[in-house]
Amino acid sequence: MNRIVKATLASAALALAAGTSFAQAPQAPQQPRAFSKPTERVEARLAYVRTALKITEAQQPQWNAYANSVRQSAAQREKKFEEFRQSRSQQPQARPSAVERLERQQRMLTEAAAQANARLAAVKPLYDSLNPEQKKVADVVLVREGRGGRGHGHMHHRRA
């Protein structure tokens, strides 16, 4: 047998004996997520949006109302997720019936409509206070599509 082939086979045998594989690359340890809760992300997002919009002193009251609405929404999402997490850990869940799934879907859609109404009530006065250049930016940064895993299955269209 050729020396190179023998050396390669010997190296492979040693590596397999040591529990490593040539096919697998070493995996990096998992890093904790920088922001794991909505309330942790919200301030960074608000700082970005405020900077992008170049909010003026005159627009500050409308901005404050918008920012407080976003903070409140994040706190509600976080609370709801914690309640869900606790209920799942306390009792094993059987698969809900078709009626129960439809009722849950109806509740979720009702809550989503209420959240959209609250968001619109906060965004509209802010948007109305913006100049045309700020409105162009606001059209991009105020309403994000498909965020947080939502929006899957929907087609996102680009404006031409």
Indicate whether 70 belongs to any domain.
Answer: yes
Q: How far is CA 120 from CA 3, 65, 98, in A?
A: 74, 12, 33
Is residue 43 pLDDT above 60, yes or no? yes
Indicate whether 156 belongs to any domain.
Answer: no
Question: In the structure, what pLDDT confidence band is assigned to residue 52 with cuts at 50, 70 and 90?
Answer: very high
Indicate whether 53 belongs to any domain.
Answer: yes
Residue 70 CB-density burial (10 A; 0-12 exposed, 13-18 middle, 19+ buried): buried
Q: What is the pLDDT of residue 80?
A: 85
Indicate whether 81 belongs to any domain.
Answer: yes
Indicate whether 65 belongs to any domain.
Answer: yes
Are 106 and 82 spatial neighbours (Cβ–Cβ below 8 Å)?
no
- Please tell me the total count of domains within the chain: 1
Terminus-to-terminus CA distance in the chain, angstroms? Answer: 65
Q: What is the pLDDT of residue 11?
A: 54
SS3 25: coil
Indicate whether 23 belongs to any domain.
Answer: no
> Any idea which of 3-17, 111-125, 135-149 has the lowest mean pLDDT?
3-17
Exposure string for 30-47, b = 16+ CB within 10 A, e = fewer: eeeeeeeebeeebeebbe
Indicate whether 68 belongs to any domain.
Answer: yes
Q: Which residue has better confidence, 84 or 57?
A: 57
Helix (H), strand (E) at residue 130: none
SS3 154: coil
Give per-residue pLDDT as tens, 58-105: 999 999 999 999 999 888 888 888 887 777 777 667 888 999 999 999
SS3 65: helix
Q: What is the pLDDT of residue 145?
A: 57
Average pLDDT over residues 28-51: 74
Q: How many CB atoms lie within 10 A of CB 103?
A: 12
- What is the domain range of residue 54? 35-88+100-136
Question: In the structure, what pLDDT confidence band is assigned to residue 22 with cuts at 50, 70 and 90?
Answer: very low
d(CA 84, CA 102): 18
Q: How many CB atoms lie within 10 A of CB 138?
A: 17
Q: How many CB atoms lie within 10 A of CB 151?
A: 12
Indicate whether 28 belongs to any domain.
Answer: no
Q: Which residue has better confidence, 31 or 90?
A: 90
